[in-house]
Amino acid sequence: MFSFSSSHNNTPALTDRQQLVLRCVVNQYILTAKPVGSRVVARLLAGNLVAVSAATIRNEMADLEYLGYLIQPHTSAGRIPTDLGYRFYVNEMMTGSGYSSDFIDAVETPSKDVELNRPSSIKSVSRLIGGLSHYLGIVSMPRLLNSVIEGVQIVPLSSSRVLMIVELEDDAVRTVSLEFEEEVDQSELQLLSTALRDRLAGRTLTFVRDNLKELMTDIESSHPELIRMVIDASQDLLYQTSQQRIHVSGAGNLLQYPELVENEGYRSVIELVENEDIIVHLLEDQVPSPGQMHIAIGSEMGNNLMHGYSLIATSYAIDKEMGTIGLIGPKRMNYAKMMQILSSVATLIEREE
């Protein structure tokens, strides 16, 4: 059984029989995407040697609807789970996936030729998750806030244009170019490089970001404008480095699910993929603790666009920096299987550290 976090754990208690009925409805709806009737539930329970009449099941389903666990989309139709129904299922009734080593091999095989823990591989990781889950795969790279600066160089590109290079631990590099209105002497650039290295090397990005102006106050230069531009460029570079870098793959997968595209629902799929800020905001709000899964279902995410979706996310660590991987799909997903996929991918990323 996976360890997962959620801020939505308060659900009304159910009797054993109500739990059996709810489990049948959720499992069957996950498989078919069609409302589930009492006769179908009775047949499923009978197959598990539980004899309950269709009339009794109808009464139990009516009670579950009254309690908010099920809803009847049409008068003549069966029932489907509500967000509360899915939440109870996830919290109380979901069992482990029981996947064998063959499943782990299926996860590992597409990743053998990819260094999953490198920033350049962010697309490959999201594609791997999207391909395995058949949903939207999401990856955010660590924001490097605790990375230590190892060196700073200012390299001339022309008489009035330079490249500022910030070298971080573990071979990470950040660059920004600066262009001046007048020619800058090479010796001036060398002195500035040395001064920056002396003040910034050995400090974390977070410390430098918060104290940059104080660190630069006593640098002497015959070109005050050069110092000002370097400070501004450094602030931009540090801000960009601290922002969450994400990549999503598998938008086409979501179009396979009728409940997501009916009644022009495909527009929400397009908006979800095109508006990166929505996903960034979701990941920031739903970041799980290390080793845990976070599951957010429909309305729990506080965004009308997400009412038809569920989000599962987990963290991974590279050199003490935390990143997030996750997936977004319809609420009627196989939660245990999706958690297994994310857990396996997170393990692969950390294994290559």
User: Between residues 98 and 3, which one has the greater pLDDT?
Assistant: 3
Dump pLDDT digits (tens) for 100-123: 455 556 565 555 455 555 555 677
Window from 34-38, 76-80, 92-96, 346-350 with minimum mean pLDDT: 92-96
Q: Residue 30: pLDDT band by 50, 70, 90 thresholds?
A: very high
* Separation of alpha carbons 251 and 185, rounded Å: 51
The answer to whether 18 touches 61, Cβ cutoff 8 Å, is no
Which amino acid, 15? Answer: T
| Ordered alpha helix ranges (H), the chain | 16-32, 38-47, 54-67, 83-88, 101-108, 122-133, 186-200, 205-216, 224-242, 251-254, 258-261, 266-274, 276-285, 335-351
What lies within 8 Å, CB to CB, of 9 at 6+ separation is 91
Q: Which CATH number fits domain 149-242: 3.40.50.1370, 3.30.390.60, 3.30.1330.40, 3.60.10.10?
A: 3.30.390.60
The answer to whether 251 touches 269, Cβ cutoff 8 Å, is yes
Q: Residue 265: pLDDT band by 50, 70, 90 thresholds?
A: low
User: Between residues 171 and 346, which one has the greater pLDDT?
Assistant: 346
Q: Can you give the pLDDT at residue 8?
A: 60
* DSSP bridge pairs for 175: 165
Dump pLDDT digits (tens) for 324-343: 899 999 999 999 999 999 99
Q: Residue 79: pLDDT band by 50, 70, 90 thresholds?
A: very high
Q: Please give the distance of CA 290 from its chain centroid, rounded to a whole number.
A: 13
* Mean pLDDT of the residues in the chain: 81
Percent of the chain with pLDDT over 70: 81
DSSP code at position 89: I
The answer to whether 193 touches 154, Cβ cutoff 8 Å, is yes
Dump pLDDT digits (tens) for 123-132: 788 999 999 9
Residue 157 half-sphere exposure toward CB, CA atoms < 13 A: 12
Strand (E) or helix (H) holding 134: none
Q: Can you give the pLDDT at residue 105?
A: 60
Q: Can you give the pLDDT at residue 72?
A: 92
Angle at 106 between CA 114 and CA 109, to 5 degrees: 25
Window from 80-84, 197-201, 286-290 with minimum mean pLDDT: 286-290
Q: Is the pLDDT of residue 313 over 90?
A: yes
Dump pLDDT digits (tens) for 163-196: 888 888 767 777 878 887 777 777 878 888 888 8
Dump pLDDT digits (tens) for 5-16: 655 666 778 999
The answer to whether 309 touches 329, Cβ cutoff 8 Å, is yes
* Separation of alpha carbons 265 and 268, rounded Å: 6
Domain parsing of the chain, residue ranges? 4-93, 101-143+244-351, 149-242
Window from 28-37, 202-211, 290-299 with minimum mean pLDDT: 202-211
Percent of the chain with pLDDT over 90: 28
Neighbours of 182 (CB within 10 A): 9
The answer to whether 311 touches 323, Cβ cutoff 8 Å, is no
Q: Can you give the pLDDT at residue 4?
A: 59
What lies within 8 Å, CB to CB, of 20 at 6+ separation is 45, 50, 52
The CA–CA distances, whole Å, from 84 to 71, 87, 296, 307, 327 equal: 10, 5, 11, 12, 20
The answer to whether 148 touches 203, Cβ cutoff 8 Å, is yes
pTM of the model: 0.74
Residue given tokens 């789970």 in the structure block? 81
Q: Which CATH number fits domain 101-143+244-351: 3.40.50.720, 2.40.50.140, 3.90.420.10, 3.30.450.40?
A: 3.30.450.40
Q: Is the pLDDT of residue 244 over 70?
A: no
Q: What is the CATH number of domain 4-93?
A: 1.10.10.10
Which amino acid, 104? Answer: I
* Separation of alpha carbons 302 and 352, rounded Å: 36
Q: Residue 1: pLDDT band by 50, 70, 90 thresholds?
A: very low
Window from 232-246, 310-324, 332-346 with minimum mean pLDDT: 232-246
* DSSP bridge pairs for 328: 136, 311
Neighbours of 221 (CB within 10 A): 15
DSSP code at position 204: B
